[in-house]
Structure 1
């Protein structure tokens, strides 16, 4: 009985994952309003009713796709145990960001398209983006409630990273190393400006460490 129940659960998970996977492709290729559940179900090889059963409808399916894409990217970006120095953590975080996007361009496109959907979908996207911002601040060693100028600087940089990443995907692009280093240098720059640090006063590592020492 237990084995049979596990088999049913496994098949259910596989069907759900298949639907989300196909949905990510469709939502990445056209606006939300132009995506049709019937097309997704046909491609996924499932009955139309399963979308309502698993997700409650199209909005729920899109929300699931957005949440999964954010979570996968966050899991990939997290610093490793070997990255102890602040500069190593930041460099690794940004490098893994571009690695993930290169490997899963459609998932990242879904995230970028989510900002133009209806209010309910935007709320889902904003919640996921807020989680991503907290992950970034954790990587930097920020206090729970960073000073306003520092929070503004990091939020602005996060928007810059998203737009730079999308442009890197869509156009003739520099190498991954080049774009990752450019984004790292930009982050250090905005942190220096937010903290009022002159460029000749300290190294990048020292500037990044200042973030964790702010009250």
Structure 2
């Protein structure tokens, strides 16, 4: 009787599977409360395989954060049913709120890094740049934003981060739709403030403001 010879999955697939398991653990528990033995047990592999792919827990953690960055960047991609500026902005906020609630500790690590870890800071900065580029595109700007507009857009990114940070650390005690409305209205108010000096933003901000 013939028997099929089992082959191990390709190295890339094994690595991706380990990141997936670790991402789930890091999303639910703080970094310091997770041990490499726990990750290995959850993945059903020997410690040595984790060390082979990532060298140590920090290496695996950075790989998890890189995956989170990729997922955050993808949140900025408009979906097919998001045709208006309001739909695009609300869709983005809804996806961010849902993602952050599902990955509490990963997002807290990102937002709280604040100069304590240059590698984490760099990943988080790339996520913020993706958000800024989304707003620039939403406003229809084709050149570098004027200084006041640039500052306002960066402020919008900080608003979203700090608002959701407070929300997550208080057990999401505001209903998600209310949080979405709060952040949306605040963003529109910021953009309306700077648009008075920049007529080129008028139509885009008017669209958002009418929806608000």
TM-score (norm. length: structure 2): 0.74
Shift of 1:195: 2.1
Structure 2 distance, partners of 1:5, 1:146, is: 57
Counterparts of 1:111-130 in structure 2, within 5 Å, are 111-115=110-114, 117-130=116-129
User: Partner residue of 1:156?
Assistant: 155
Aligned length: 201
User: Partner residue of 1:8?
Assistant: 9
Shift of 1:206: 2.0
Residues 71-122 of structure 1: CA deviation (Å, up to 9, x unaligned): 2233244322332222221122212222223344344334334446422332
Residues 1-55 of structure 1: CA deviation (Å, up to 9, x unaligned): xxx999622x7524533344325534763356x6543443343332333334333
Structure 1 distance, partners of 2:131, 2:6, is: 35
TM-score (norm. length: structure 1): 0.73
Q: 1:136 to 1:68 in 2, by over 3 A?
A: farther
User: Partner residue of 1:184?
Assistant: 184
Structure 2 distance, partners of 1:174, 1:75, is: 25
> What value does the CA root-mean-square deviation take over the aligned residues?
3.4
Contact in 1 for aligned 2:97/2:176 (Cα 8 Å): yes
Contact in 2 for aligned 1:94/1:180 (Cα 8 Å): yes
Q: 1:162 to 1:85 in 2, by over 3 A?
A: same
User: Partner residue of 1:86?
Assistant: 85
Q: 1:203 to 1:139 in 2, by over 3 A?
A: closer
Structure 1 distance, partners of 2:16, 2:137, is: 32
Q: Could you tell which deviates more after superposition, 132-141 or 89-98?
A: 132-141
Q: Could you tell which deviates more after superposition, 170-179 or 137-146?
A: 137-146
Counterparts of 1:52-91 in structure 2, within 5 Å, are 52-91=51-90
- SS of equivalent to 2:9: helix
- SS of equivalent to 1:83: coil
Structure 1 distance, partners of 2:92, 2:65, is: 20
User: Partner residue of 1:174?
Assistant: 174
- SS of equivalent to 1:68: helix
Structure 2 distance, partners of 1:108, 1:159, is: 14
Structure 2 distance, partners of 1:117, 1:136, is: 28
- Unaligned residue ranges in structure 1 (runs of 5+): 210-215
